[in-house]
Structure 1
């Protein structure tokens, strides 16, 4: 078996990684942020790129740095705690929320506009079964993921996005919108928060190990080579995401007059594409959304199945993938609105833990007591992240409004940074004595 990859294989690996990240949410958030930011679009876009591109890239690299996925990265914690974090993360981003959402968004944006009066619960059920059956089919053979996603589906997706991006730059359909109040004072901070909403850092923890598995299936067994190829694929994916976000921000930033008071980015993109391409606009949009969601669904399903197979070897990869696909089809029937209502508070609560885990993974060699550092930093991130999550659920927590950044949904940030500083400075007496010797 070959131990190296050709340039074409490596480019396909990068495209595959890019496609796994690019879901419908990534297409919806940037244009709405650009629309609301108006003339402050560039500042908002900078903040968005930091959290929507920089954090996922750092997370992928942290997987390579740690030499493994969540279970490896949390090895400094008690076994039960590390396993619990991993299981919770994979369930949240897999069958509970994120993967079913790809099917629901595809139905809402790429199917519903074409079926008219046939829309209903029965049609949603039939679509969910067909969608996740296709996801399962593409996920069953990991060795062919690179060919199916990286070399077939993604180039089509990239072509459609390129057409849209060039059209937006060459033929803007509107004017610069007025700046929304929330983007007047601190557009960079607001952009950071919008990028945070993409939740791609969760996905990066999964996709890092999935990429390693794909490399192994291609005969790349050397750890140094795996790390190098993962880093190259990560940079390719991050560059692709950045270009897509810039184009979509430009779309939103030139959408003044395209429609009045859009409620979400999906409406805005649909109206803009319709003006650009006429009757073919809905078809172009359906192709972009459908492919973006399907590739993400395949990536999430494969990563989740691989994790649960590793955790419980008595269940084969194929059994795990089939179970996840069935659960996703069932959960998808609750509908998009209800799923978002349930999922957002949970994701907001857990996200800080993942960001903190990435940070301490890179810094672990600097801690005098690594076990204590991991427990303290992740514990603080979870505690204050739960406050943000409860607030996102609509519970009145005004009693905690004194916490810095609480109103912005970032109550976890400063306490977590403080915990990192304490961990860097903390030395037990015996450690100090050893250092003195």
Structure 2
């Protein structure tokens, strides 16, 4: 049981841990200064806690999120939300980001400026060719990723953290930025930075891979099955937290040049590897980053291809794999910073919705919820998420004023209190209740 949970956890960790997981923690370390502990705590809450919770909730029910949301909210809402989510964590943002991160850290530093453009294109072709080769055989993910690639890149990351920290002064080397200047602001900024890892969103997709993996094991009782899920969740959360703290400390203890302009995370990883390994640093860094990102890319392509193959069966699974690899290649040529800047507004809308959905699914296992209360909650959270994004755009200052009137807006979660009120209503409202996970066809009988 422990072994099954550990194997599943290591596989999931390998799928989750990718581009953002490498570059965002060092960035937090630099920006947080003396408020490091608050910033990294907020980051772990959103990047680790929410992702693990979202994953375990689905596995405990034994159903995918499409079925769960169709039962709890509405089939059309489930379809629209999941299509938006899968496109965000897939070919539009996350998949190309893994390729550009691999290139910008592992390959770009050794190329002359005039070759960087064509270099990215050539690298992306090779990268997505390997992705396709691994993704066309999803039944082999446990052996190829869980038992080989994940231990390889995790061991390399641990090595660079341990050796890197030995070469740095153990105290903050940078003044906290405005967004991190204070315990509350640092925690809130850490939470928002955790959004950028995409892991809570990816948990919705990877829950399908996790269920497929668990089906390959034999469980004597339901109790053994649930214990295995808990072991897997603890394994994932522990591995994430240890590496996040280590990578963030590298950033916190690293003195960033005052004139530096560029991606902080990639710069720190490159510099620390150079200090530790000298002439062979770039080879070590390239292997570590490329393998780390490749496992995530494969997991995303597999999950997203399976999803679209279920909602539009005219295309085969292999066709979807080819399509998403091609789209990933095309979009990756826009570059890392462009992809991240375009992804943030979409994330700010999808993340709160995902969190509340997972909470409602969990609560519905304990008490029958009101359909009116559920829909009201989701409507409020969706609207506030859109308003939060609009408030950050020039020319929409009115929305910023509205958001500023809502509690907890200062830590980036203005939807939190309204969501709590909505969930409370879903619990206490006596009318139009739904039987747990009963589908529409059953309701008509």
Whole-Å separation in 1 of the counterparts to 2:432 and 2:9: 48
* Cα displacement (A) at 1:410: 2.3
> Equivalent residues in 2 for 1:57-72 (5 A)?
57-72=52-67
Distance 1:430 1:241, change over 3 A: closer
* Cα displacement (A) at 1:362: 0.7
**Quick one: which of 176, 179, 184 aligns to 1:179?**
176
Cα RMSD for the two superposed structures: 2.6
Q: Deviations over 1:256-281 (max 9, x none)?
A: 36776565222222223322332333
Check the 8 A contact 1:206/1:300 in 2, yes or no.
yes
Structure 1, gaps ≥5 residues long = 432-437
Check the 8 A contact 2:94/2:198 in 1, yes or no.
no
Whole-Å separation in 1 of the counterparts to 2:250 and 2:425: 44
Q: Does 1:409 align with 2:412?
A: yes
Whole-Å separation in 1 of the counterparts to 2:221 and 2:300: 25
Q: 1:434 maps to which residue? A: none
Whole-Å separation in 2 of the counterparts to 1:335 and 1:361: 37
Most deviating of 58-67 and 227-236? 227-236
| Count of equivalent residues | 426
Q: 1:13 maps to which residue? A: 8
Whole-Å separation in 1 of the counterparts to 2:105 and 2:358: 34
Distance 1:248 1:110, change over 3 A: same
Structure 2, gaps ≥5 residues long = 435-445
Check the 8 A contact 2:206/2:303 in 1, yes or no.
yes
Whole-Å separation in 2 of the counterparts to 1:289 and 1:123: 17
Whole-Å separation in 2 of the counterparts to 1:120 and 1:267: 16
**Quick one: which of 147, 152, 176 aligns to 2:148?**
152
* Cα displacement (A) at 1:123: 3.1
Whole-Å separation in 1 of the counterparts to 2:230 and 2:394: 40
Q: Does 1:134 align with 2:133?
A: no
Q: Does 1:114 align with 2:110?
A: yes
Q: Deviations over 1:302-332 (max 9, x none)?
A: 1111111222334332222222112212222
Whole-Å separation in 2 of the counterparts to 1:223 and 1:423: 29
Whole-Å separation in 1 of the counterparts to 2:130 and 2:220: 30
Check the 8 A contact 1:143/1:218 in 2, yes or no.
no
Q: 1:306 maps to which residue? A: 306
Distance 1:393 1:101, change over 3 A: farther
Check the 8 A contact 2:153/2:291 in 1, yes or no.
yes
Whole-Å separation in 2 of the counterparts to 1:393 and 1:413: 21
TM-score relative to the length of structure 2: 0.87
3-state secondary structure, aligned to 1:171: coil
* Cα displacement (A) at 1:150: 0.8
Q: 2:442 maps to which residue? A: none
Q: 2:29 maps to which residue? A: 34
